Amino acid sequence: MQSLDQFALDKLAQLEHASLRRVLVESTRDGLYIQRDGRKLLSFSCNDYLNLSHHPAVEAAAVAAITTYGAGAGASRLVTGNHPLLTTLEEKLARLKGTQAACVFGSGYLANFGIIPALVGKGDLILIDSLSHACIHAGARLSGATCLTFEHNKTGDAETLLKMHRSVHRFALLISEGVFSMDGDCAPLKPLAALCNAHDCWFMIDDAHGLGVLGEGRGSAAEADCADIPLLMGTLSKAAGSYGGYLCASQPVIDLMKTRARTLIYSTGLPPASAAAASAALDIIAEEPALTRLPLAKAKSFTQRLGLPLAQSAIVPIIIGTPEDALAASQRLADEGFLVTAIRPPTVPDGTARLRVAFTAAHPDSEIERLADLVSTHIKRANLCPDSS
């Protein structure tokens, strides 16, 4: 076993030298604030965009579910783990997204790992936006299909690839994120949908960061007024404040998922508390459109104060460059009472290490202004942050 330990130590040393080693930091969260290393920090790094993870109705639903159904599902959904709360949750998801049906998975990562290989395989074609989440790329490779990437948000590049390769493949699937998790920009959904229709290519979006934030809470497709997307995937761990993943689609597609998606068949069902919490959160999202508009409004206020391009979502990247400088910038903000985590390669491309600023409905406007002023004064002026415009 000495060679194994030495391998691990060598890899860790290399990562440490490049400022790319990750370390888990114990934290506790109470709404907007994080307790970390003995300090209370206002977090701008959480994806709880509507602050629903601590909403009384969401918490109460989770507690009631545990009392009724226990802490765990006990088995996969196809065995005994398909408790009634999952049926209710899927009905609410389909209604919110305007589809015939929905299927809930254990997480967003598991969803993409299950959905993609259940739809395409050897002899098929997958086109993926180059900045799509790692689980999309991994799920695509797992499928055995031919996988090609197109330039980020470049419909023309995707069109070129389809014209070159579509005719020699049985089926084709194009995948993009609705809101890109590290850049905060939105995909050109209408042009991509038109392109897919023209080439008999199925269109799927991962809307993890659109649900609850865009389109009156219904997500990126609703925001873009694009009803022509047959596969709407997302997560319940962000604006919904809980945990799990989902696919909203036609009834035949959902029926196929429930009999062929391996990450549903061979995974324990979502815990009752998580399903109940997400269900209660979806009620709030559907009933309070004004709440869903707040994260984007606050992100726009931040970008306006900094003179950056207007935010398209609740996510604003401050591109810095090197991992070392991104870590230093994050520490500078922590010294001022803010948690804004540094994002480093391989999560983002080399040379684009950044601060990823995530806004929620409850962030105080005064603190947003203070954060913007600190970024402007201490980070840009220190030449750590190039002009993002």
Q: Which residues are catalytic?
A: 47, 133, 177, 181, 206, 209, 238
Orientation angle between helical segments 189-198 and 155-165, nearest 10 degrees: 10
The two structure tokens encoding residue 160: 């070129």
One-character DSSP codes across 119-173: H--TT-EEEEETTS-HHHHHHHHHHTSEEEEE-TT-HHHHHHHHHHHGGGSS-EE
Q: How far apart are the first and last CA of the chain?
A: 51
Residue linked to tokens 């860790």: 12
217 within 8 A of 224, measured Cβ to Cβ? no
355 within 8 A of 344, measured Cβ to Cβ? no
171 within 8 A of 124, measured Cβ to Cβ? yes
For 242, the 3-state DSSP assignment is coil
